[in-house]
Amino acid sequence: MAKLRIRTYGDPVLRQKSAPVRTVDAELRRLARAMGEAMYEHRGVGLAAPQVGIHKRLIVVDVEWVKKEGDGEKSETGKRNLRVYVNPEVTWESAEDDSMSEGCLSVPGVEGEVYRPRKIRLKHLSLAGLSHEEEMDGMLARCIQHEIDHLDGVLFVDRMPFLKRARIAGALNRLKKDTLAGAAPAAKSAAAL
């Protein structure tokens, strides 16, 4: 499979809703593998198919392979554990929210606090085509909610409080201009999900 290109803020593909996967086949497994490679290459911890311009409900996540240092730098733990979720769907969420700073491979250079439910129950298909349902919290729950948003054309900056969003409006406008001019920076450092 050709190398996948990560789309950036301003690209209309990020605003399109993705369709459910009908069959889990070899092609889908190849796509999941290629998405994992792109995610690791860009030092992300999650990636959704629409971020590479493919509108299928497929996400990959690995919240263990990088850890954040105090100054925001990330270091590799060396352990890779790629999780793949097909047609992920939140069937329950806790009333209790958590606030955490998020970034996004599609919105390089921008980070901000977002409130999300602390715990979720997730229904999904595995790459073997089997149905699973599990409860999760912490970084994994956070990351999966961020990725499912991508499947619905929603970005984390949409969920930031109005005043904080106003503060990053300039950066978003610049990024959009660069994206439309084909000159958006390669996401590599501050990005996360």
Is residue 96 within 8 Å of residue 80, measured between CB atoms? no
Return the amino acid letter for 105: L
Candidates 32, 63, 104, 125: give the one binding Zn ion (CB under 5 A): 104
Q: Which helix (H) or strand (E) holds 38?
A: helix 26-41
Residue 6 binds to Zn ion (criterion: CB under 5 A): no
Query: Shortest distance, CB of residue 5 to Zn ion, whole angstroms?
Result: 15
- In 3D space, the residue among 71, 86, 72, 70 whose CA is nearest the CA of residue 25 turns out to be 86
Q: What b/e readout covers 60-90, taking b as 16+ CB neighbours within 10 angstroms?
A: bbbbbbbeeeeeeebeeeeeeebbbbbbbee
Q: Between 87 and 106, whose beta carbon lies closer to Zn ion?
A: 106
Query: Shortest distance, CB of residue 144 to Zn ion, whole angstroms?
Result: 11
Tokens matching residue 23: 């069959």
End-to-end CA distance of the chain: 22
Residue 193 binds to Zn ion (criterion: CB under 5 A): yes
Distance CA 141, CA 120 (A): 6
State the residue number with the nearest CB to Zn ion: 104
Q: Between 24 and 157, whose beta carbon lies closer to Zn ion?
A: 157
- Part in contact with Zn ion (CB under 5 A); list of ranges 7-15, 17-25, 29-37, 101-109: 101-109
Q: Between 24 and 116, whose beta carbon lies closer to Zn ion?
A: 116
Residue 143 binds to Zn ion (criterion: CB under 5 A): no
Active site residue 147: yes
- Part in contact with Zn ion (CB under 5 A); list of ranges 8-16, 99-107, 110-118, 168-176: 99-107
Chain positions contacting Zn ion, by CB under 5 A: 104, 193
